[in-house]
């Protein structure tokens, strides 16, 4: 039970951090606080899961189970042809701080992704990535208290369309907000456990790939906040963890739906609405200000007509690029116009397809599961075998294997939510190839993004209870390890083990599952004054707004 004598264990989350990024910064002396933790403790790669993306990997880290148990596989959750942006209501397994609360330990959790809306536990929680800009916090009213105490608190930086200098300033501002909020709440609640996450270490790579000066500025800001937290909270034990790594993509862009279409598995249509519910509409109105249904419908009909006469967005992009107007067109042409003039996957007529690139795999259009399934259940296994064998043999133009693994989903996912996963998992070699769900008129091209996620993140552990060596660390191991630092056994349901540098405390069955909070309980929706203030500030809190942000970062196509 809690003795309330200060912070026993602190977890610092760095989204996308990995040794290839950190070590050059250590050599330059840019990160004294993080480097000290690495030098005084143990450190090494932290293998992520498949898929190694934020919305699925952080729940795996803070529950200790694979997505087949906790239920989050992507940024979007699908029900037939409808989608929701994932949030805490989609996580079906207990979070680390909930397990600690059941044993009498309190926690302060700041900015951890996929934690909105929060459930009940002993302590405080301010949600992070995937939450609306004015999120519900725990306990109720905490966001107002934070804003009053700190002056402001935002989930996301205002970094879209600004100069590099302004972007760095925004990254630093929200990073300081994380540190200030954590230190304030640690003083206010005197927790046993703390978890603070910094998202900008990943965002900077997506918004400014290859800009090493900006990367260093972000990490320096994070290191400064880590130092302040360590000084003020003086935790007994510290873990630094990441959800995945990040690095340059030196391989190829591989258009999986194009490949499946070439081999007769995916059907393709020309023009029309294409993927209306599967790829979010990024623009809610025409850029010239005319947002009427008639205007939108007319523009879509005109571009669909153009498509039938061979003027697709792929061909138009080549023409615009040749005359230097492609970027301008991207800024002024609404996405529903682009979608209407594109070649699209005809899901209802397809036997297999890729729904979203970050799912890392292929779905079968199965009768009784998909809204317009065409593959009979008795053909399911034989079709999976065909797809596995076909994809295993794919080679790059240089003759190297494109995938390091192609397997049935059971090889990566098990649990009550596993059927939500793709049917065939595709793991690109070294995560050096960019898989895309788009149709581009060719199978191979340059990677869609020059930097993106890698499989290995990082873990460092220092302080009381840490010793020996660190070997074979996996993202599933973080929650069992924290429990062990509190002398608690891990759950028999967990897929991870206690890190080799920490003494284990056995395992047992837990029965602390709580009901998921409802999304409509958000403070913004329940409080008219806050809702009006949100509108005055121009802040969006709905799924489309978050989908827009994810698209801008390159996660959604």
Query: Coil, strand, or helix at residue 186?
Result: helix
Query: Coil, strand, or helix at residue 546?
Result: helix
Compute the distance between CA of residue 77 and CA of residue 75 in angstroms, rounded to an integer.
7
Q: C-alpha distances in angstroms, 437 versus 306, 388, 480?
A: 23, 18, 35
Compute the distance between CA of residue 288 and CA of residue 434 in angstroms, rounded to an integer.
33
pLDDT value, residue 423: 98
Confidence of residue 256 (pLDDT cuts 50, 70, 90): very high
DSSP 8-state symbol, 408 = E
Of all helices (H) and strands (E), which one includes residue 253? strand 253-255
The CATH fold of domain 9-249+452-552 = Alkaline Phosphatase, subunit A (3.40.720)
CA dihedral 529, 535, 539, 542 (to 10 degrees): 90
Contact 326, 386 (CB under 8 A): no
Confidence of residue 493 (pLDDT cuts 50, 70, 90): very high
Contact 169, 204 (CB under 8 A): no
Q: What is the pTM of this model?
A: 0.84
Distance of CA 154 to the CA centre of its chain: 18
The residues spanned by each domain of the chain are: 9-249+452-552, 253-450
Q: Judging by DSSP bridges, how do beta strands 456-463 and 42-47 pair with one another?
A: antiparallel
Burial 163-190 (b: 16+ CB within 10 A, else e): eeeebbebbbbbbbbbbbbbbbbbeebb
Lowest mean pLDDT among 158-172, 253-267, 271-285: 271-285
Q: Which of 15, 70, 7 is nearest to 458 (CA)?
A: 15
- 5-63 tens-digit pLDDT: 789 999 999 999 999 999 999 999 999 999 999 999 999 999 999 999 999 999 999 99
Helices 142-150, 164-189: axis angle to 10 degrees equals 110
Compute the distance between CA of residue 310 and CA of residue 147 in angstroms, rounded to an integer.
54
């Amino acid at each position: 039970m809690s003795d309330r004598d200060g912070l026993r264990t602190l977890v610092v989350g760095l989204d996308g951090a990995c040794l290839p990024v950190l070590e050059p910064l250590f050599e330059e002396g840019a990160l004294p606080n993080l480097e000290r933790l690495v030098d005084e403790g143990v450190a090494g790669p932290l293998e992520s899961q498949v898929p190694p993306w934020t919305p699925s990997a952080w729940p795996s880290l803070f529950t200790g189970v694979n997505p087949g148990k906790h239920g989050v596989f992507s940024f979007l959750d699908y029900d037939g042809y409808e989608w929701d942006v994932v949030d805490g209501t989609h996580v079906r397994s207990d979070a680390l701080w909930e397990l600690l609360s059941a044993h009498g330990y309190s926690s302060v959790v700041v900015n951890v992704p996929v934690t909105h809306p929060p459930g009940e536990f002993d302590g405080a929680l301010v949600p992070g990535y995937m939450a609306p800009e004015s999120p519900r916090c725990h306990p109720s009213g905490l966001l107002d208290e934070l804003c009053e105490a700190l002056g402001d608190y935002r989930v996301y930086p205002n970094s879209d369309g600004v100069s590099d200098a302004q972007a760095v300033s925004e990254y630093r501002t929200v990073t300081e907000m994380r540190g200030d909020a954590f230190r304030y709440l640690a003083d206010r609640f005197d927790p046993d456990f703390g978890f603070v996450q910094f998202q900008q270490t990943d965002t900077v790579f997506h918004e400014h790939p290859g800009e090493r000066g900006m990367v260093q500025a972000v990490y320096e800001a994070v290191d400064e906040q880590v130092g302040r937290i360590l000084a003020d909270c003086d935790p007994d034990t510290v873990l630094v963890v990441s959800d995945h790594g990040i690095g340059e993509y030196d391989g190829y862009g591989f258009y999986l739906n194009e490949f499946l279409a070439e081999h007769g598995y995916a059907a393709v249509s020309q023009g029309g609405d294409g993927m209306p519910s599967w790829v979010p509409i990024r623009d809610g109105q025409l850029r010239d200000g005319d947002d009427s249904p008639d205007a939108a419908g007319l523009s879509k009909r005109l571009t669909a007509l153009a498509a039938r006469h061979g003027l697709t967005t792929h061909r138009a992009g080549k023409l615009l690029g040749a005359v230097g107007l492609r970027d301008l067109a991207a800024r002024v042409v609404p996405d529903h116009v682009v979608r209407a003039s594109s070649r699209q996957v005809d899901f209802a007529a397809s036997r297999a397809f890729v729904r979203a690139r970050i799912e890392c795999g292929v779905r079968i259009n199965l009768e009784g599961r998909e809204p317009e399934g065409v593959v009979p259940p008795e053909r399911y296994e034989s079709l999976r075998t065909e797809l596995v064998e076909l994809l295993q043999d794919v080679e790059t133009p240089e003759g190297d294997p494109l995938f390091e693994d192609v397997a049935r989903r059971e090889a990566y996912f098990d649990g009550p939510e596993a059927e939500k996963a793709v049917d065939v998992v595709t793991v690109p070699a070294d995560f050096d190839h960019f898989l895309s769900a788009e149709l581009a008129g060719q199978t191979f091209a340059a990677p869609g993004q020059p930097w993106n996620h890698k499989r290995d993140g990082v873990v460092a552990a220092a302080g009381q209870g840490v010793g020996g060596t660190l070997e074979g660390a996996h993202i599933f191991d973080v929650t069992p390890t924290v429990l062990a630092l509190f002398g608690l056994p891990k759950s028999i349901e967990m897929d991870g083990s206690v890190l080799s540098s920490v003494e284990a405390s056995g395992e047992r069955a837990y029965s602390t599952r709580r009901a998921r909070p409802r999304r409509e309980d958000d403070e913004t929706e329940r409080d008219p004054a806050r809702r009006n203030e949100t509108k005055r500030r121009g802040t969006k809190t709905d799924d489309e707004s978050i989908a827009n942000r994810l698209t801008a970062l390159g996660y959604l196509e």
